[in-house]
Structure 1
Amino acid sequence: MKFVGDPGRLRQVLTNLMGNAVKFTAHGHVSVRVVGVVQNGESADIRLTVEDTGIGIPEDKIDHVFGEFNQVEEASNRNFEGTGLGLSITRRLIEMMEGEVWVESKVGQGSCFGFRLRLPVDEPHGADAPCLPPNLTCALVVSEQSANCSILSRQLGLLGAQTTFCSNGAEALGLAVAPPDIVIVEGAVPDMPVADLAQALATSGCAAPMLVLSAEASVLMAQGLPPNVCRVLQKPVARRALFEALEAIVTDRASPTAPPEAAGPQKARLHARLDVLVAEDNKTNQLVFRKMVQHLDLDLRFADNGIEAVAAFRERRPDLVFMDISMPRMDGKEATHEIRRIEGDGPQVPIIAVTAHAMEGDREVIIAAGLTDYLTKPLRKAKILEMIDRYGATLPVADTG
């Protein structure tokens, strides 16, 4: 839902509370929770809390922390510096917005700062309701962080999914005996790499797709992951992004790999194993491309730059080339020019440009450089399959007798 308020001041309050929590939390976690209750469709009581597992505040000092230039003078607090103005400003801002601010804390266990406001509603209740993926009733979550498990439990509960939690890979393999609809890995797995867990689950007969939530998503993807890892999301993950990923995973598995009208020619050509060369210098993009076409029967080769692409062409002529335009050492246009020179007057292999440039006139420049067609980044599965079907289906199929 959307509300009417002062975003600048609310951002300042949240920054103060989160900064204070992070400052005094050396181990554990800091979590932010927002809940609201709509009143008669016109306003809502909004409650926001910032909880940490830091050093905590003595009970007789709690009221003291909201005073100007005040800080709790304790031995455990002397390693942390600051003026003590942040919480005082926070209280004044919330009170000016006719709200209430509070704190609960225990020494050595952490603190929970929160505030409550009533804000007018800017759109109808239910406008931000989650999409409910079909066939998602049971989820297995692997995470060693109890706070993150709690958050995921509530989020998956909104989808009507029953959730089973475990803290490591060994437990996950034991629980996967009754296969879930999806496996969600939250963070690093303490006893094995994510790729090893995915492979072990697949080997054990668990066919459930895997969704990985990682603070190092790009690094993880660049390392290469088994096919049952369907999505890797960068933490922190917004609730809407999580729901969209779940819906996409479940929908992809429930849908046929190709629309009926395209299945005929694509199946006929790919039965002869289309040889596809992909020139792309970004390892992550290589991994994404591989996953998008993993269900097709292809001979898939990769080149890291234009020089390697030309060498791969000389070694074995491909049926189709996807050519990144911007690459080191030799770019896509230069590589295409060299390939066309090698082909001479003979038949030309279809070369599909893959580029981040999508300005008016770019297509004409790319086609003039000798390329057959082009796609714009970011890569889209439907467009890649369309190109493979369009240009792969026009190639002659070897006579098998």
Structure 2
Amino acid sequence: MAQQTDRPVSTESQQIAVDAILDRANLALQRNKFAEAQKIIVSAEEIATDSAIFARTQIVHTKYYSFIGQLDKAASNIKKLEQIIPKDSPSYLDLMLVKAAVNIKKKEFVEANEALKTINILLVNNPERSNVIQAEYLKADLLLHTSNFEEAINVYKRILPELKEEKLFYFEAKAAFNLSLSYYKQNAIEDANTSLDDAMAKATSFGFTGIELDCYDLKYNIEKTLGNYELALEYLVRYNRVRETAGLSLAGQMSNPEILGTIENLQSENNMLKAKTEEQTSELKGREMYSILLFVLLTLLSLLTMSLFKNNKLRARSNQALEGKNSALIDERDRAQDAAKIKADFLSTITHELRTPMYAVTGLTHLLLETEPRDDQKDHLETLQSSGEYLLSLIDNILDFNKLEANKVQLESIPFDLKKRVEDITVSLGNQAKDQLNNLNLEFDKSIPSRIKGDPVKISQILINLVGNAIKFTKNGNIWIRVNQVKQIDDKCLIHFEVEDNGKGISEEKQQDIFNNFTQEGSSTTREYGGTGLGLAIVKNLIELMGSKVELDSKIGRGSVFSFDLWFELPDSNKFYEENSTKGYDHFKEVEEYPEYKKPVRSNSNAEIKPEPKINEENKESTTTPVAPSTQDSSPENTEDKPRSNNDVIAIKQATPKDLIAKKILIVEDNKINQMITRKILEGKNFDCEIANNGIEALGKIKENQYDLVLMDIHMPGMDGKQCTREVRKFDRELPIIALTAVTLDESEKEFYEIGFDDIIPKPFKMNEFFEKIQKAFTNYQIY
């Protein structure tokens, strides 16, 4: 009875001990510690008296031969083990995994494929996740070695997250390296470098010296291919240093016949000892031998238990320390988040409050310039106007920067005319370019669809910052804006944007820093050119928000080229638009954007309607400042049954004082200074104006009187501009209402259009933009 109860315990304990030792051997092999691995495997073989357990040690011994390059010996071992190990045992699956790997190394691809088929059959009955993923890894390895790089890449990319989840760190690092090698074979150098850096980090972290050496070798080849010979030499030096440090010359010694003979002698002696032990064990039938063996096994189990207990105790202490540190980090994170919120709220509030006095500065300056001042007074007023515009630009940059930091920027996806957008930017920056004696050139690819779907405001913001930056650092030179289509796939197109100048250029050591917040090339640059260093930081963040990145190519004295690629969707309305629309169609006029609120248009019944101008386009346009939005030829031939855009109607005739005095505008504003300035600006153009001090008063006036336009301030006591507009839209959907707002952190343009506003004028006003948007409401007249 004692013998019957002892035997199962002995086998189970033996299995636990051998598995633990073999895990150490596998780790030593993965770290290229071959001599240590061999000793560990031999010790496992000495303990393994059970034939099934001994077979498991032989599978790891076969792995050892594969690692040191003795593939014939590995193959010989596999043939022997295939006859010994039952096909329905888990060990047979392990053997097949080793066999497939050895066949791939020996370039016996047909045999490797057969082994993989056998593995897939075995996995049906033993679908352990780690084995399934290893089989997928071997499949990708076979695809790589048979030059099926595309398929290999797809498999590696799919299994990498699963290898990480299963904590198969060696296979994860090896898969990352093989993915990089597959990219390299296809000349996808950038992707190869990215995956290779990941593989190198994992190999270095876990001490997988063989994979680390492979990474340095591939880095050497990549840099040599690119012509970076100094960098290639550096990786070669690192390769040799790691090889010497790891003592990998031992791997070469493993193939030395003398050493191999010694190893074989030791193995034969070990086998003889095992045979004698088995004979002695079979001869000893007494309980004394079994008691000794049981005592030895119980001693081993006790030692393992004590070791596990100590490890658990140390782990519990470490967990307590980590919990304390984690709690402290959470407190620090919360304090940092609170501080960031306070900073964001402060910047949002202060920039909003600065706009009210800035409106007085810019508005009064405009009014004084309209009074025909003396030449000396005019110079002072123009300087004041320029300074006000600069300060306004600074406020806008701070607000944009604050929105990006607070993650308040949301991308829109609406149809718009990219060509019109870029041309408008070129025209608006024309005078600034002339002041620096620069020529501003536009090259636009005609193959770009007439309508694309994206965020036109963010595109404008990016290009204005890049072109403005080029103008600032270029004098008496040229600036090029290039927009080209790279490719079009189904309902999407990839467009390449490029802004080039031949100005002073940027030094290599400063090219990365200039994209940081509040950073310029140097203090002398700040003193000479001014600015806050936020423009390029905003550009970088916006482009990354759109899923791309900005590239910079610059050298001192040659100039700079900023470029980026963006994907855009193609709306279904492109064909109709190309056949029926005219130039100058802006996205704010597109009813598709906000279909629940159609834009009302009130036109003068006495207006003279002339035929729509015909548009003439070339394949690519290159113009010099100032750039007109389009070249038009007033021909009556194609005027029948064509829709008319607002800009075409606006340009029909110049408004006379008599025309404009009949236009009645309601100014809804609670600030007395802003009331006075806005009223005087409009009355200077012969408009008839009335004032409402808040939303409640405005609502009463709109119900009692007929107005042609309402200029609605947003932030007012009692009833704000948003609520007032909602109430007006309940009974009048045709009255044009334009929002006057100093946009805050929590406001977005889309919200205004959804409420029912027809347009937005940010405060303080830029006069050209102010009158341009008012004239859209009076579509029959051009305001001068």
The higher radius of gyration belongs to 2
Which structure would you say has the larger RCO, counting Cα contacts within 8 Å and 6 or more residues apart?
1
TM-score normalized by the length of structure 2: 0.19
Structure with greater proportional strand content:
1
TM-score normalized by the length of structure 1: 0.35
